[in-house]
Amino acid sequence: MLMVRVAVENTVYHFDKDFDYAVPASLAEKAVPGCRVQVPFGTANRVCQGMILSVHEAEGNAKIKFLQAVLDEAPLLSNEMLFLIPWLKERYYCTLFDAVRLLLPAGLTYRMQSIYALAVGVTKETVQTLPPEKQAAALPLLRQSSLEKGKLLRQAGLSPDSLVLDDLCRNGILQRTMDPVRRMGDASMKMVRLHEPLPDPLKLTPRQREVFHVLQDAGCASVKEVCYFTGVTPAVIKNMTAHGVCDEYEQETYRTPYLTGECTETGEQTPIHLSPEQETAYEHLLAAYRAGEATYSLLYGVTGSGKTSVYLCLIDQVLQDGRDVILMVPEISLTPQSVHIFQQRYGKKVAVFHSGLSVGERMDEWKRVKRGEATVVVGTRSAIFAPLAHIGLIIVDEEQESTYQSESSPRYHAKEVAWFRCRYHRALLLLASATPCVETYYAAQTGKIGLETLSQRYGEAQLPEVCICDMNEELRNGNASVLSWPLLTALRENLEQKRQSILLLNRRGYNTFASCQDCGHVMTCPNCSISLTYHAANNRLMCHYCGYSVPMTAECPECHGKHLRYTGAGTQKAEEQLQELLPRARILRLDADATMSRYAYEDKLRQFADGEYDLIVGTQMVAKGLDFENVTVVGVLSADQSLYNDDFRSTERTFDLLTQVVGRAGRGRFRGRAFLQTFTPENPVFALAASQNYPAFYQQELPLRKLMLYPPFADLCVVGFVGSNEQEVRGGSMVFLQQLRQLAKTEYRQLPLRVLNPSPAHILRAGGKYRYKLLLKCRNSRLFRQMISRLLVHFAGEKKFKHVTAFADMNPDTVL
């Protein structure tokens, strides 16, 4: 008997595996790996969606269930992607179908829809004998043969959680079927062409004759184009179709983001002139690629050193070989600039992947790549799953960024998936950054991966002059504004010289803290252990974790006193103070509040590039990747902000942010200046960031990591526990620890482990859920992952902790 192994939707982790199903003879040709299917699942045989992972022959038995339907005409997933699914499950503790979802665009997935109809033999008279509520549910089905559950409930005037339909099914009045429905349909355009053969005799009105001549010349055209060029209405074309002169048909079109009328089919590959350093790096990387084996390299270069030029030369060679390329960028905000560069050079071969696109756009970009129409993919971490068939090069730009790691299940890291794909395709994986993460640079220094260095800025551009501003001194001199005197002076000089500036303040909102001076009460979120931020734009206090908001108040909710004090400056307050201090300046604020509408970020940056603004003040989105020749002053308004967080990576993260934002200045022919405002100017991280001296920072950071046994000297596994009751969450974490001790002492004695006792998360309560964490310093081996998987499965089966969710996150960028 032909059998298939299927990953089934909506299974739970502790009960997940590939399930065997028999294939009916009628589906034998269609049931191939990579196709989605409809299967009965569980004791109730509810209809579920699944993905065929493999096909095999086996002896049948009475208990085996049969496939009900194959939903795809051709496989959606290649052999590579089918190998990737179990790898994702084993490495990131997710279900098989969770892994399948990562590989498919949201619009292409199906949802199972309940369809109701009257049971055979049920008549109008039968319906009229039912109680009023049940009668109201059955009456619409006398008029229509079947209805989807939501529509039927609305027509019957019943609530979405009503059980009336279930009762009617049990009583044999209604019958229910489950149908798969695509979440997003294909986009199409109505086309028209001349019918073959044409009717004889051919009688045409003058207007029809115009349409006839256009179609004779063009062969076929969209109805919209024919109407535009001839001035006729669609009714004229419809009439010609009715008389057998024309044929109308639907042709699939793509909802393609960012493509403009200026974008050519193939692009324009202008020559790139490399410096001697760039040429050396390029030659070494090209040789690694040409070796024909999976290769892993780091391209370390100071800001403005021309790493992108090296990428482009490499990509040219890879495309000439008929192979494909993925370029990953860390944030949506960097995608438009990257896409513009790549579309200018490679035209419509470029596809874009990121979460800011509409569902339809994401689906159509996926289809273009799947069909081989796009061979260069640019995007954020989801781009790593692009269905390219012949990958030759994967580039991870700003490889140190935390956004390459997913914060929700499956908690995959795009760099690890990239290495899996490069090994499969025998391709080159290139990580690039001016501030690589310590683990990557350590791997390069110890020879585990290749290293290429660009130590100088490209051309005549020089590293900016950096001033470290002591804000303690500013306060003693009576300056309580967001700007130090040196920075304010530099901004005024820049305005006079018609140059531009960028200011970083990595906090949005107006005030970041509100407290009562009478009783000391702090305005906090009822759902999260965090203070509310005041936003002047909508005059509300808002939580940046769960979105809770209330109108601004002058009265304390605890003691009803009238002395609420608002402190801490966010980007909105900085913008207001800047406008007062620099009244002639045209100021652009860039943060999540100012860029909520679609394409707002790229539109605002385009205006800045065109000289419509003099100064940008914004959050982290202005710190990286921006390249404006006229920017000669940058400032960090609160450089201490991320330095003293409760996280072993806080120093590294601060150095990275400061180095990157300093690098935005002086990237053209004008010398740049940067200002770091701090209350702890003696901290060595500021001097190192000012000099862009990453090797010195690395040498300072590495001994601390070794002493504390943190990455790269050990892997860090964080087991998180989440639930609505704090005592249950804490208790669950302690029971998990006991089970871990028992297993580690008996079956996994050979594993090197250091375990820290469970502790509250940095933000104990978020979104109404309490959170605890258990830290394990370990080696991320297959045996270790097997142990953690067993513990998670066992914990999920504990009935007393059924309201507590446990998950494992390996080497997270931010510890819970």
Q: List the Cα angle 189/195/197 in 5-degree steps.
A: 160
Q: Mean pLDDT for the chain?
A: 88
At residue 776, the 3 state secondary structure works out as: strand
Q: Give the model's pLDDT for residue 790.
A: 95
Question: If you average pLDDT over residues 351-357, what whole number do you get?
Answer: 80
Q: For the stretch 315-347, what's the b/e string if a residue is b when 16 or more beta carbons lie within 10 angstroms of its beta carbon?
A: bebbbeeebbbbbbbbbbbbbbbbbbbbbbbbb
Q: Give the model's pLDDT for residue 257.
A: 66
Q: Which of 308-322, 512-526, 657-671 has the lowest mean pLDDT?
A: 657-671
Q: Which of 3-12, 228-237, 355-364, 746-755 has the lowest mean pLDDT?
A: 355-364
Structure token digits, residue 783: 């045996």
Q: Give the model's pLDDT for residue 225.
A: 82
Q: For the stretch 397-421, what's the b/e string if a residue is b when 16 or more beta carbons lie within 10 angstroms of its beta carbon?
A: bbbbbebbbbeebbbbbbbbbbbbb
Structure token digits, residue 332: 């949506």
Residue type, 462: Q
Cβ(435)–Cβ(660) below 8 Å: yes
Say yes or no to pLDDT of 666 above 90.
Answer: no
Question: If you average pLDDT over residues 199-206, what whole number do you get?
Answer: 86
Question: If you average pLDDT over residues 194-208, what whole number do you get?
Answer: 87
State the pLDDT confidence band at 105, using cuts at 50, 70 and 90: confident
Q: Which residues are annotated as a binding site?
A: 516, 519, 525, 528, 543, 546, 556, 559
237-271 residue pLDDT tens: 999 998 889 998 887 766 666 655 455 666 677 88
Question: If you average pLDDT over residues 137-163, what whole number do you get?
Answer: 87
Q: Which residues are annotated as a binding site for Zn(2+)?
A: 516, 519, 525, 528, 543, 546, 556, 559
Percent of residues, the chain, with pLDDT higher than 70: 95
746-787 residue pLDDT tens: 999 999 999 999 999 988 999 899 999 999 999 999 999 999
Q: Give the model's pLDDT for residue 361.
A: 80
Residue from 342, 307, 337 nearest 457 by CA: 307
Question: If you average pLDDT over residues 560-572, what whole number do you get?
Answer: 85
Residue from 658, 652, 642 nearest 691 by CA: 658
- In order of their start, the domains of the chain are 2-109 (3.40.1440.60), 112-182 (1.10.10), 188-252 (1.10.10.10), 276-454 (3.40.50.300), 465-508+570-704 (3.40.50.300), 715-810 (3.30.70.360)
**From the CB of residue 430, how many other CB atoms can be counted at a distance below 10 Å?**
29
Residue from 553, 556, 512 nearest 535 by CA: 512
410-448 residue pLDDT tens: 999 999 999 999 999 999 999 999 999 999 999 999 999
